[in-house]
Amino acid sequence: MLKKEAILAKTNNGLNVFRYYISGEWRVGHNFLNPLYDDRKASCNVYFDRKSGAYKIKDFGNDDFSGDCFSFVGNLKNLNCNNSKDFVEILQIINNDLRLNLAEENFSSNGGNIAKTVENFPEKPDLQPEKIKPYSVVYQQFTQKDFLFWGQYGITSDILRNYKVSSLKEFKSENKEGKPFSVYSTENEPIYCYSGKKYVKLYRPFSKIRFMYGGVMPENYCFGLEQLPAKSDILFITGGEKDVLTLVSQGFHAICFNSETSNISKNIIKKLSYRFKHIVLLFDVDKTGLEASKKQENQLSEFDVKRLVLPLSGEKNEKDVSDFFKIGKSKNDFKKIFLDFLENFYSETMAILKPCEIDFSHPPKNSEVVISINEVPLGTEGNLLGITGGEGTGKSNYVGSLISGAITQNEKINTLGTNILQNENGKAILLYDTEQSETQLFKNISAVLKRAECSNMPPFFKAYCLTSMSRKERLRSIVQSMDKFYYQFGGIHLVVIDGIADLVRCANDEGESVGVIDELYRLAGIYRACVVCVLHFVPNGMKLRGHLGSELQRKAAAILSIEKDNNPEISVVKTLKVRDGSPLDVPLVQFSWDKEKGMHVYFGEKPKAEKDKRKEIELFNVAKSIFSNQKHLNYSDLCEKLQKILDVKERTAKGYVKFMKEREIIIVNENNFYSIKN
């Protein structure tokens, strides 16, 4: 029998469990957004509890989600950790998902069940006589004919095993009058079984009575719920278990309730709406399915649940998504239907965006030249990258060189000392400009194409001038068009928003600032894209100004500042923040104008002495800020303040203390208290 102590021993005291189920980049002891609900403010963190000797999660925004790794998985899978039966299932889920191999599965190597008899007669059937059906089953291995049946829908033995689908030799139970009966599997009438806690649901595809039940069916039966990821883009709600398995075989996420006419739990849908961008009803296209999906769409409208109807005849052998793939349709055919669905759903938004799209074959009329700043992906998938700087610093040329590196097929072009991941798969590259005129944006794109050695604008590169829109329309247009292009181009390589301050009424409004950065960060995670945010503020040392700047600095994986050197002909790229490591140890990249080439070119890195001088100045300013309110600090408190102010890891903060001591920025007295040197 599984024990929680064994799981803790194999998962680094539970830390590996949190790392498996919580996506994105997060660190122990640092706040992040709780993935179990629509968390708007990062007030959740994983920490080591010395008393219990295990890692736990603490959510200061909603204490219901605080606890150890077992209660976290219970919340994720809608199981009660305080219920002994549920707790056993939680242990099994962790064991299976993390492949700990702490208990043997009841499956043979070829995916079939090992033949055995399972009896499940309730001890007190008189407690719920109308719901409890005593039963016993005899499992058997899947035959080749069984695999052919499931295989016509693309369903493999691994999927059957993961979703606890078995083949039965015999099923015994009682009818409504309490009389015993037996059902036997034959070659022409096989019996398949969906197993749960204290119940089984039988599927007999070629029999007159197709579905039978045994045991205690849960009030909110939901097949496929525990197999869902913590967060993703689309979740389909289908009419039956086979449809769920079919969609899973095609790489989609799906669940179903007991039938199309069942009451769908709003509590479950509410929780799932925080984890998935789209929840889509995909019922049968016969009369019953169409009426049921329309009814459910109305009842679940508060969660923005959508309804997709497949282009099938509605006849017996052509009415559900399993039939769709059985008749020869492909995954791409299905994705095309979904993309058409989104285009229709976002038709008004796309109509508004169309006049804003830069048509490279029809240049706009000349108008007054305005300095434009372009942006580019520099960071990791699923994260934000911030670029800041003042006017005339060369920011637009630097950002333009990064875009060129993303769209070019030539790895040797000059990208001003920065390495850029090429867009080899033709995913979407999206540029939304909220400041520049249409004419200026066109000229900037021309310069980008020249550097990238592209004669034409690639089809996956979309650029929009949003100056004519209201601030509210801008954000809505960005959100909805990103979703559309994600499916059209099979992903998003890069999103550039120049500048994000024009998405809010005031950059010093805390509520608006948190909201827009949270939304961009959420989209970056859902689409696994790098979202570059250009903020037209001159930074104050290592920090960005205003609530918008502070929120961007907190959420972004990196912040770059483009500044003029002492020599005004040279621009310098300074790192204000990097998630892993010290920004003050990153080389200072230089670039300048080359008349012969007619563009800015890489000018090398600043000498180490210059980098150390910058580090000394920045840390001196930070030390002045820290010791302005208190004269003395012990070592641990000083490290903690450095971590908080500069958003760095503990080891980096310790390195800063050592550097400041060596440069005599700070001194330590005989009691091991630190102070700034006068």
Question: What residues form DSSP beta bridges with 559?
Answer: 386, 577
Task: Please state, in angstroms and rounded to a whole number, the distance separating the CA atoms of residues 87 and 514.
Answer: 37
Would you state the pLDDT for residue 365?
A: 54
Q: Which CATH superfamily is domain 372-606 in?
A: P-loop containing nucleotide triphosphate hydrolases (3.40.50.300)
Q: Is 157 helix (H, G, I), strand (E, B) or coil?
A: helix
Pick from 214-223, 313-322, 600-609: least confident: 600-609
Confidence of residue 83 (pLDDT cuts 50, 70, 90): confident
The class level of CATH for 222-345 reads alpha beta
Residue 236's closest CA among 155, 293, 194?
293
Buried b (16+ CB within 10 A) or exposed e, 372-404: bbbbbbbbbbbbbbbbbbeeebbbbbbbbbbbb
Q: Over 80: is that where the pLDDT of 186 sits?
A: yes
Q: What is the pLDDT of residue 310?
A: 93
- Residue 371: pLDDT above 70? no
Pick from 88, 90, 96, 92: which is nearest to 76 by CA? Answer: 90
* Residue reference for tokens 């009691």: 671
Is residue 323 a contact partner of residue 312, using CB atoms and an 8 Å limit? yes
The predicted pLDDT at position 608 comes to 76
SS3 of 450-487 = HHHCCCCCCCCEEEEECCCCCHHHHHHHHHHHHHHHHH
The arithmetic mean of pLDDT across residues 396-409, rounded, is 81
Q: Give pLDDT, residue 584.
A: 76
Which H helix or E strand runs over 245?
helix 241-249
Confidence of residue 36 (pLDDT cuts 50, 70, 90): low
- pLDDT of 378: 53
Size of the chain, expressed as the number of residues it contains: 678
Please state, as a whole number, how many other Cβ atoms lie within 10 Å of the Cβ of residue 149: 17
Tokens (6 digits) for 162? 């993961």
3-state secondary structure of 678: coil
Query: For residue 377, is pLDDT > 70?
Result: no
pLDDT at residue 581 in the model: 67
Taking phi over 0 as left and psi of -120 to 50 as alpha, with beta for the rest, 12 belongs to: left
Residue 379 pLDDT: 73
Q: Across the chain, how many H-helices and E-strands are there? A: 20, 27
Residue 398 has pLDDT above 50, yes or no: yes
Report whether pLDDT(241) > 90.
yes
Instruction: Say if pTM beats, i.e. exceeds, 0.85.
Output: no
Q: Could you read off the pLDDT of 555-564 as tens digits, one per residue?
A: 888 888 888 8
DSSP, res 607: P
Percent of the chain that is helix, strand, coil (3-state, to 5) = 35, 25, 40
Question: Which residue in 94, 91, 82, 96 sits closest to 2, CA to CA?
Answer: 91
Q: How would residue 130 be classed by pLDDT, with cut points 50, 70 and 90?
A: very low
Question: Is the omega angle on the peptide bond into residue 215 within 30 degrees of 0, that is, cis?
Answer: no
Percentage with pLDDT > 90 across the chain: 26
Arithmetic mean of pLDDT over the chain = 83
Confidence of residue 103 (pLDDT cuts 50, 70, 90): low
Average pLDDT over residues 17-34: 82
How far lies 181's CA from each of 174, 202, 229, 627, in Å? 6, 15, 40, 82
pLDDT above 90 (res 622): no
pLDDT 10s digits, 537-556 = 777 666 777 788 888 988 88
CA atoms 528, 530, 534, 540: torsion sign: positive
- Span 280-295, pLDDT tens digits: 999 999 998 999 999 9
Host H or E run for residue 428: strand 428-433
Among 237-246, 346-355, 369-378, 502-511, which range has the highest average pLDDT? 237-246
Q: Which residue has the higher pLDDT, 170 or 672?
A: 170
- Cis previous bond, 549, omega within 30: no
Other Cβ atoms within 10 Å of 103 Cβ, number: 14
Is domain 614-676 given the CATH code 3.40.50 in the classification? no
